[in-house]
Amino acid sequence: MYLTKQMKTSAALTLPALLSLFLSLPTWATIESSDSERETIVEMIGQLEQRHYAKHRYDDDMSSAHLDSYIESLDRGKMFFTATDLAEFEKYRTTMDDQLHEGNLVAGFEIFNRFQQRLEERMENVVETLPQQVQAMDFTVDESFPVDADEWDWARTPAELDDRWRKRIKNEVLSLKLAKKPAEEIAPTLVKRYNSQLKRVRQYNSQDVFQIYANALTELYDPHTNYLSPRRSENFNINMSLSLEGIGAVLQQEDEYTKVSSLVAKGPADKQGELKPADRIIGVGQGEDGAIEDVIGWRLDEVVELIRGPKDSTVRLEVIPAKSKAADERKIVTIVRNKVKLEEQSAQKKILEIPEGDRTIKVGVIDIPAFYIDFDAMRRGEEDYKSTTRDVKVLLQELQDEGVEGIVIDLRNNGGGSLQEANELTGLFIEYGPTVQIRHSSRRVWRDGKRLKTTYYEGPLVVLINRLSASASEIFAGALQDYQRGLIVGDRSFGKGTVQTLIPLTEGQLKITESKFYRISGDSTQHRGVVPDVEFPSIYDAEEIGESSLDHALNWDQINPVRHQRYNDLSTVVPRVTASFVERSAGNPDFVYLEEQVEMARQTSEITELPLNEAARIALRESQEQKALVIENKRRKAKGEELLTSLDEDELDEADEADPELAAEEEPDDEEPDVLLTEAGNVLVDMLLLKERAYAVHTPGEEPKK
């Protein structure tokens, strides 16, 4: 329509003038929905209303929330739409539900087309003017850039939006500058980044638009309910079959970054040890020396495809560490791709020797990285098929034969796995009884657990969990806590207490939350997670990691409890054990170090604006580094180690090499220090001693011990 009007008024133009006119026309193309997508949305809404656990109707209220969710998913940073655009979209606020029930996708596609237009116009302008902008930047001006886009309202004028972009680009330039990017490479790097985003948005098709629009709705039900386009369905199936060769990391999209959600236990990234949950991946390079490709602004599936690769090949990731508030700090993580092998996820044992007066108490530790089972071997009828429960049963007996006086089950970073194995494993520590309740969206409840009375391990027991202990781990830990079979220590667990089902649609699939896990106490494991009896400092930020950090996560609630046995009365034990822990940890330099790191991370999270004045930005960074150095040297001084003048990696290495004996004692993964496991062993010893004293007091014929 636009072209026809221009042609009518330009009949006398010369050929060069006509070519110029064509080149000046908008390059964005309107995307329209397909018949299959219109059928799919009707099916999807029907399934959501009928089968989702929350039982939400897609009505006017949810239509309003859907509009906000969709706009946010397109322009979370409020960098493209204006207040005028938002005012136009208001006509859809309470009509999208009526439209989608009839298979009408007009609202979603019209909003996206406006977004694409705004993005293309902006990217073209940025690419054209960026070198001049960089050259004109003054880093002595006192101004700032908000960390969170929620600090902004929608821009009311084009000039306001232009200034917002000026500050964004200035922030990116300053980050690259402080990350020691050569000055002559900064503008080309950003031009390439924005050209890449421009190219990608021009490649969007109707499936891409439909997926964004559909998921803006599904995620209002809960964060684990998602529409999977045909392409995403294929990737999901690859992941579920474990045939994917890669690095063993679960990734998610956060604004324009690809964020590490969790690591697969004993996978390549986990074993390499440098990549951490909440790290942001900003670049991917192939091989030992391949160029790092900037992936800021890429779609998640594109980043995953770049990271994925054949076994034994190398991928290099440029990441912004989770602890870094700005993008000034970067590091390169080199990982050799591989498959996650079942035998590498096997439970392992070791023995802690805890000094207590003139005796040494041996505590057995069983590390369970995942709840695994070789289903194929089991179906084939193999008698020695591999499973968590079978392996732990053998290790339990071996540890008892070696004379341990109690057991610590280490579930840190165990993201779950087989529900069957969680139930079977619980059965090794109780005589019989239910372990979990599962409530379906139909509100029918069924229970699973140990049905027959058999022998079980009766000795002192501690379960160590952290923020990354999820799903099946929470079922196991929650059951043992409800039976009062042992003490749970560590950090509050992840809080994923939902069950998903895959439903095929005309186009793609719907992954829908259809059931919810409940403990035998009636408490849900959802959102709240398992709360430890003795709580250790958390090394993970609950605002970044865990179910409670996700938008629209289902709430914690309760159903009727199940009658069950209680093996101990731990209500009297917990206060005394906790008091001993507090007293002991106050004098432990490693624990003090951990607590101070947690406090520093909390303070960092309160930073809401980043200075765009270079001197102020450097001062902020140096202040953070100085705080970290003080904390590190306080720990080193208490342990008699060499003090540092900086946290430079070379100096850290030199300090460790200066005292090989101390270096050999260092825990290889400094974010999961051995002090936590040792303290879990100490808690078990406290339990053991309390039991011995109680037994001595109540033994007939003896004087009570004082």
Task: Tell me the one-letter amino acid at 291.
Answer: A
User: Rounded to an integer, what distance in angstroms lies between the CA atom of residue 179 and that of residue 141?
Assistant: 20
Which residues on adjacent β-strands are paired with residue 366? 349, 409
Fill in the DSSP letter of residue 558: B
User: Rounded to an integer, what distance in angstroms lies between the CA atom of residue 539 and that of residue 531?
Assistant: 16
Fill in the DSSP letter of residue 417: B
Alpha helices for 382-418 (secondary structure H): 388-401
Residues acting as catalytic residues: 471, 482, 496
> Helices (H), strands (E): how many in the chain?
23, 19
Write out the two tokens for 248. 């063993």
Residue keyed to tokens 């309160």:
606
User: Rounded to an integer, what distance in angstroms lies between the CA atom of residue 10 and that of residue 372?
Assistant: 71
**Angle formed by the axes of helices 60-74 and 106-136, nearest 10°:** 30
User: Rounded to an integer, what distance in angstroms lies between the CA atom of residue 654 and that of residue 644?
Assistant: 10
Task: Tell me the one-letter amino acid at 63.
Answer: S
Task: Tell me the one-letter amino acid at 528.
Answer: R
Give exposure, 491-519, as e/b (b: 16+ Cβ within 10 Å): bbbbbbbbbbeeeebebbbbbbbbbbbbb
Within a 13 Å sphere around the CA of 668, how many CA atoms are in the beta-carbon half?
A: 5
Write out the two tokens for 12. 């006398």
Please state, in angstroms and as integers, the Cα–Cα distance from residue 410 to each residue in 431, 466, 469, 493, 514, following that order.
Answer: 22, 9, 10, 13, 30
Q: Cβ distance 638 to 167 under 8 Å?
A: no
Please state, in angstroms and as integers, the Cα–Cα distance from residue 433 to each residue in 388, 430, 571, 604, following that order.
Answer: 20, 8, 22, 46
Q: Is 53 left (phi over 0), alpha (psi -120 to 50) or beta?
A: alpha
**Angle formed by the axes of helices 573-586 and 674-698, nearest 10°:** 140
**Nearest 5°: phi and psi at 259?**
-110, 140
Alpha-carbon torsion, ordered 545, 551, 557, 559, to 10 deg: -100
Alpha helices for 557-648 (secondary structure H): 573-586, 589-605, 614-638
User: Rounded to an integer, what distance in angstroms lies between the CA atom of residue 250 and that of residue 243?
Assistant: 15
Which of these, 475, 491, 479, 470, lies nearest to 550 by C-alpha position? 470
Q: Cβ distance 390 to 425 under 8 Å?
A: no
How many residues make up the chain in this entry? Answer: 706
User: Rounded to an integer, what distance in angstroms lies between the CA atom of residue 170 and that of residue 172?
Assistant: 5
H helix or E strand, kind and range, residue 253: strand 249-254
Task: Tell me the one-letter amino acid at 37.
Answer: E
Task: Tell me the one-letter amino acid at 670.
Answer: D
The angle subtended at Cα 256 by Cα 253 and Cα 257, nearest 5°, is 60
